[in-house]
Amino acid sequence: MADRILRWFIEGKINQIRTKVGGSHRLDDHYIPLEVFLSLRKAAKGSRPINVNIFDDGESIFDDKPAITEGMTEKVWTTIPEEVMREGSIVTLNIDQVANEEDGQDLTIELTLKRE
């Protein structure tokens, strides 16, 4: 069950690697990440997926980065280590890779958290 959802929205074409995109969030309690939901209004094309990375005080919360592959408009990513994200942590988002043929558009990322 979700206790908090952090959301980032990147409007327009997803065509470049970017750091600290879509703003940052400060945690109000200790949380454990459950899943990441990725959504595109228009799917990307190409052999490279769109990869995102979420950071807790500058450290990635993933062993494997969430990706949304060619033709997909939605993906739920659940392979997240259950490490505690502490109260007061600053949570940010990077786009680490983009598609290599046709850009996706209007990317939404949701990080679902449960209280520790």
Main-chain phi, psi angles of 32, to 5 degrees:
-120, 130
Q: How far is CA 19 from the centre of its chain?
A: 12
What is the reported pLDDT for 88? 98
What is the reported pLDDT for 24? 97
Spell out the per-residue pLDDT of the chain, length 116, in tens.
899 999 999 999 999 999 999 999 999 999 999 999 999 999 999 999 999 999 999 999 999 999 999 999 999 999 999 999 999 999 999 999 999 999 999 999 999 999 99
